[in-house]
Amino acid sequence: MLVCIPDVLSKQEVAEFRRIMDAEPWEDGRSTAGAQSAEVKQNEQLAPDGPTARMLGERIVKALAANTQFISAAVPLHIFPPLFNRYVPGKYFGEHVDNCIRGDHLTGLRIRTDLSVTLFLSEPEEYEGGKLVINDYYGSHRVKLPAGHLVLYPSTSLHMVTPVTSGARVSSFFWLQSMIKDSHARRMTFDMDNAIQELVERLGRNDPEVRTLTNIYHNLIRYWAEL
Ligand code: NI
């Protein structure tokens, strides 16, 4: 399941991020790649352990913690410290596998990657090419979102970034471990939560059936969540 979440960062925040990032040196993106992905990865990254990436990453994680749509879709347990990349003309990331386990040596955090996230920090009209292509059971999905929006997609998918032919594609990318490992279960709780929120709008939070459905929603999370 692909979920796009709008306005995780405001346009003003994106502009501030870009100002800060533009002043930083960029390094070869292969420093964080696995054995397979290193062979097809051609992009640039901010130093993953550098103070700028960590500071901006913390701001993203804070924004995510306040985003109810993100929480509902991902049910995050651990979010890996966000990384930042840039694709200038000629750069691309061929079809690859995301490592199943990722460790962060600064914090000691180790996660199972259930969901991959790309948070776009360039507007679509700032660059040509640079589409995120995600291949799953349902086919091939091409994603290019406005700056400040993100896409959540299964880390189990093969995916790629097509070559940028003009401009620059800047984004943050990271992984997370969900409390709900099973993607079908996670999909059902997300759908149910969305339906309940619609009913709350129409009937209020304390309509008896809404209350019952809310209880079932919490019980399903209780049933599936692993902490
Ligand atoms: Ni990837």
Residue 161 Cα to ligand 1 midpoint, Å, equals 9
Same domain for 202 and 155: no
Residue 91 Cα to ligand 1 midpoint, Å, equals 15
Residue 158 near residue 97 (C-beta atoms within 8 A): yes
Residue 35 near residue 97 (C-beta atoms within 8 A): no
Residue 144 Cα to ligand 1 midpoint, Å, equals 15
- pTM of the predicted model as reported, rounded to 2 decimal places: 0.96
Total number of domains in the chain: 2
Same domain for 125 and 82: yes
Same domain for 213 and 110: no
Give the pLDDT confidence score for residue 137 in this predicted structure: 85
Same domain for 173 and 201: no
Residue 156 Cα to ligand 1 midpoint, Å, equals 10
Same domain for 194 and 88: no
Q: What are phi and psi of 115, to 5 degrees?
A: -130, 140
Same domain for 58 and 11: yes
Residues paired with 102 in a beta bridge: 111
Residue 176 Cα to ligand 1 midpoint, Å, equals 12
Residue 141 Cα to ligand 1 midpoint, Å, equals 14
Q: What are phi and psi of 107, to 5 degrees?
A: -105, -15
pLDDT tens digits, the chain, 227 residues: what are they?
A: 899 999 999 999 999 999 999 999 999 999 888 888 999 999 999 999 999 999 999 999 999 999 999 999 999 999 999 999 999 999 999 999 999 999 999 999 999 999 999 999 999 999 999 999 999 888 999 999 999 999 999 999 999 999 999 999 999 999 999 999 999 999 999 999 999 999 999 999 999 999 999 999 999 999 999 99
Same domain for 206 and 118: no
Same domain for 208 and 109: no
Give the pLDDT confidence score for residue 27 in this predicted structure: 94
Residue 140 Cα to ligand 1 midpoint, Å, equals 15
Residue 98 Cα to ligand 1 midpoint, Å, equals 5
Same domain for 128 and 208: no
Same domain for 110 and 92: yes
Can you give the residue range of the structural domain that contains 213?
183-224
Residue 188 Cα to ligand 1 midpoint, Å, equals 25
Residue 137 Cα to ligand 1 midpoint, Å, equals 17
Return the residue matching tokens 């309509």.
Answer: 207
Give the pLDDT confidence score for residue 77 in this predicted structure: 98
